[in-house]
């Protein structure tokens, strides 16, 4: 009990590292965290923002204010910005300061534009989304395989720290092996040493979305749209326990039964296990980045030079906050 009291906010040590040094289970620390009091009006506004953002992910705080005012709510832009920050939401339109990493964390270059994804475990990616509950909210993180769209692991939490993201990553690595490339946004959870060190120890090449380029991780964004419209909004979960049970059933359905049009109406499990019928690519031209490859790519199409070129790119140092090159500035992959 005494050692648990040592764990807290620290400028240089993450909670994951503190738990490791103190010999304390992360789950124990989580269980003793005091819930933050919830403002019911903020909760109601957050639910409205969540639904509208899922429908129109390009909406920033200005448009969201207009949307809420039209519904009869008296709220200013600063209030909307506060709620969107708490939910981890930003508009998809390119622009400055849309995704800010921790100032002390390294930001890695985006390595996947123009790179054909032609086999399972070639590319994994992750993201966090806000989930509304009847009397509160939660955050959901998931890791998917780009080739098959299979959800490899997921976790929920009542806070946006790095601990539940690290747990999710470690579970995916433990049960599904090691990807060649792992992509995320520049959020502090994913740029933290606790997260990136796990990838480095596994020998995984790290890739991160460019600033203001939400389409760089479009496959996870599509997953969020599916899980919210097909499950969360329909079920209206009241508690974290209900959410865990419901999402467990939904992700089993999503992987094992739900046909995916982009996979030729196969399931993610079938494509992942057979290594055929899948594929993905973020195209060079920004305007075309919403489109996937029209024909599924097979593993026989892969060239060894693709992975070599990607790893070579990953060795270049990118300073924190450096502007990402636009798609039209990038050279085509070999």
HEC profile for 194-263?
HHHHHHHHCCCEEEECCCCCHHHHHHHHHHHHHHHHHHHHHHCCCCHHHHHHHHHHHHHHHHHCCCEHHH
Gyration radius of the chain over CA positions:
20
Residues constituting the chain: 334
Closest to 250 in 3D by CA, of 234, 264, 265: 234
CB 106 within 8 A of CB 287: no
Tokens at 57, concatenated: 């992910």
CB 160 within 8 A of CB 139: yes
Q: Residue 53's pLDDT is what?
A: 80
Q: How many CA atoms lie within 13 A of 115 on its CB side?
A: 24
Q: Residue 19's pLDDT is what?
A: 77
User: Residue 321: which region, alpha, beta or left (left: phi > 0; alpha: psi -120 to 50)?
Assistant: left
Between CA 175 and CA 295 the distance in angstroms is 29
Q: Could you identify the residue written with the tokens 């395989």?
A: 145
Q: Residue 149's pLDDT is what?
A: 96
Buried b (16+ CB within 10 A) or exposed e, 96-121: eebbebbeebebbbbbbbbbbbbbbb
Q: What are phi and psi of 32, to 5 degrees?
A: -100, 5
CB 118 within 8 A of CB 146: no
Strand-strand pairing, 123-133 and 136-145: antiparallel
Q: What are phi and psi of 143, to 5 degrees?
A: -120, 130
E strand or H helix that includes residue 69: helix 61-70
Successive 10-residue mean pLDDT values, the chain, 334 residues: 64 70 69 66 86 78 88 90 79 42 73 92 94 87 96 93 94 97 91 94 92 70 91 91 95 95 94 94 56 36 42 45 37 35
Closest to 108 in 3D by CA, of 201, 13, 17, 204: 204
Q: What are phi and psi of 58, to 5 degrees?
A: -90, 0
Tokens at 17, concatenated: 């590292």
Q: Residue 2's pLDDT is what?
A: 65
For the four alpha carbons of 227, 229, 233 and 234, in that order, the dihedral sign comes to negative
Q: Three-class SS of residue 154?
A: strand
């Amino acid at each position: 009990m005494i050692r648990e009291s040592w764990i807290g906010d620290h400028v240089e040590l993450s909670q994951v590292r503190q738990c490791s040094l103190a010999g304390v289970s992360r789950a124990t620390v989580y269980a003793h965290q005091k819930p933050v009091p919830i403002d019911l009006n903020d909760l109601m506004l957050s639910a409205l923002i969540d639904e509208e953002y899922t429908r129109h992910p390009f909406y920033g705080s200005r448009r969201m204010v207009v949307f809420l005012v039209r519904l009869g709510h008296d709220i200013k832009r600063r209030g909307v910005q506060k709620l969107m920050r708490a939910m981890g939401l930003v508009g998809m339109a390119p622009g400055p300061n849309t995704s800010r990493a921790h100032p002390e964390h390294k930001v890695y270059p985006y390595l996947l534009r123009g790179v054909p994804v032609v086999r399972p475990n070639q590319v994994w990616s992750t993201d966090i989304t806000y989930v509304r509950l009847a009397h509160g909210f939660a955050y959901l993180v998931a890791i998917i395989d780009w080739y098959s769209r299979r959800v490899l692991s997921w976790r929920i939490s009542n806070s946006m720290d790095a601990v539940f993201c690290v747990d999710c990553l470690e579970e995916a690595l433990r049960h599904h092996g090691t990807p060649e490339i792992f992509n995320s946004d520049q959020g502090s959870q994913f740029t933290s040493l606790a997260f990136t060190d796990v990838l480095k120890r596994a020998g995984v090449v790290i890739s991160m979305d460019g600033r203001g380029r939400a389409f760089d991780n479009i496959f996870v964004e599509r997953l969020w749209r599916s899980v919210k419209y097909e499950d969360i909004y329909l079920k209206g979960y009241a508690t974290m326990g209900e959410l865990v049970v419901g999402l467990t059933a939904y992700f089993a359905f999503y992987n094992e039964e739900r046909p995916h049009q982009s996979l030729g109406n196969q399931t993610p499990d079938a494509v992942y296990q057979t290594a055929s019928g899948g594929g993905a690519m973020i195209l060079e031209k920004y305007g075309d980045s919403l489109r996937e490859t029209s024909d599924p790519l097979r593993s026989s199409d892969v060239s060894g030079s693709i992975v070599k070129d990607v790893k070579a790119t990953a060795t270049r140092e990118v300073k924190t906050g450096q502007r990402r090159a636009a798609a039209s500035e990038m050279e085509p992959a070999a």
